[in-house]
Structure 1
Amino acid sequence: MTAARTVLSFIVGAVLVYGLVVAAAWLGQRKLIYPAPSGRQAVPDGYERVLLQTSDGLTIDAAWRQGLPGRPVAVFFHGNGDRWSGAAQAMAPLARAGFGVLLSEYRGYSGNPGTPSEDGLYRDGDAAIAWLRDRGIADQRIVPIGNSLGSGVATRMAVTHGLDRLVLVSPFTSLPDAASARFRFLPVRQLIADRYDNRAMMEDYGGTALILHGVRDSLISIDHAGALANLSDRFTLVTFDQAGHELAYLPESGRAIRRWLHNEAGQP
Structure 2
Amino acid sequence: MKLLGRLLLVACALYLAGLAVLFVRQRDLMYPRNPVRADIASANLPGAMEVPLTAADGERLVAWLVPPRAGKPVLLFFHGNAGNFGRSIRQARFRALTEDGTGLFAVNYRGYGGSTGSPTEEGIHLDARAAYGEAAERFGAARLVGYGESLGTGVVLQLAAEVPLSAVILEAPYLSTAAVAQGVYPYVPIRLVMLDQFRSEAVIGRVRAPLLVLHGERDGVIPFRQGQALYEMANPPKRFIRFPAGHHEDLPAQGSVPEVRRFLADAASGGVAGAESRTVE
Specify the TM-score bucket, using the shorter chain as the normaliser: over 0.9
Q: Which residue of 1 aligns with 2:70?
A: 69
Distance 2:75 2:19 in 1: 39
Distance 1:110 1:91 in 2: 15
Q: Which residue of 2 aligns with 1:227?
A: 229
Distance 2:6 2:252 in 1: 51
- Identify the match of residue 28 of structure 1 among 25, 30, 45: 25
Q: Which residue of 2 aligns with 1:196?
A: 198
Distance 2:99 2:153 in 1: 23
Which blocks of at least 5 consecutive residues in structure 2 are unaligned? 271-281
Q: Which residue of 2 aligns with 1:257?
A: 260
Map Cα deviations across residues 104-145 of structure 1 (whole Å, 9 max, x no partner): 11101123210100011111111111111221x121210111
The 1:147/1:255 distance shift into structure 2, 3 A limit, reads same
Percent identity between the aligned chains? 28
Q: Which residue of 1 aligns with 2:276?
A: none
Matches within 5 A, 1:171-210: 171-210=173-212
Contact 2:243–2:251 (Cα < 8 Å) also in 1: no
Structure 1 SS opposite 2:181? helix
Contact 1:76–1:87 (Cα < 8 Å) also in 2: no
Pairing 1:144–2:146 present: yes
Which blocks of at least 5 consecutive residues in structure 1 are unaligned? none
The one-letter amino acid of 1:227's match is A
TM-score by length of 2: 0.89
Pairing 1:58–2:55 present: no
Structure 1 SS opposite 2:70? coil
Distance 1:120 1:78 in 2: 15
Q: Which residue of 2 aligns with 1:79?
A: 80
Contact 1:147–1:170 (Cα < 8 Å) also in 2: yes
Q: Which residue of 2 aligns with 1:126?
A: 129
Q: Which residue of 1 aligns with 2:274?
A: none
- Shift of residue 164 of structure 1? 3.0
The 1:39/1:82 distance shift into structure 2, 3 A limit, reads closer
The one-letter amino acid of 1:122's match is H
- More divergent stretch after superposition (160-169 vs 247-256): 247-256
How many aligned residue pairs are there?
A: 264
Structure 2 SS opposite 1:194? coil
List structure 1 runs of 4+ shifted beyond 4 angstroms: none
Structure 2 SS opposite 1:250? helix
Distance 2:209 2:113 in 1: 32
Contact 1:151–1:169 (Cα < 8 Å) also in 2: yes
TM-score by length of 1: 0.94
The 1:49/1:248 distance shift into structure 2, 3 A limit, reads farther
The one-letter amino acid of 1:253's match is S
CA RMSD of aligned residues (A): 1.7
Structure 2 SS opposite 1:64? strand
- Identify the match of residue 244 of structure 1 among 232, 247, 250: 247
The one-letter amino acid of 2:182's match is S
Map Cα deviations across residues 142-178 of structure 1 (whole Å, 9 max, x no partner): 0111111011111112111122310000010111111
- Identify the match of residue 38 of structure 1 among 20, 35, 38: 35
Distance 1:87 1:125 in 2: 18
Contact 2:178–2:190 (Cα < 8 Å) also in 1: yes
- Shift of residue 82 of structure 1? 3.4
- Shift of residue 248 of structure 1? 4.5
Q: Which residue of 2 aligns with 1:113?
A: 116
Structure 1 SS opposite 2:98? helix
Map Cα deviations across residues 223-259 of structure 1 (whole Å, 9 max, x no partner): 1111111123322110001111113553612221111
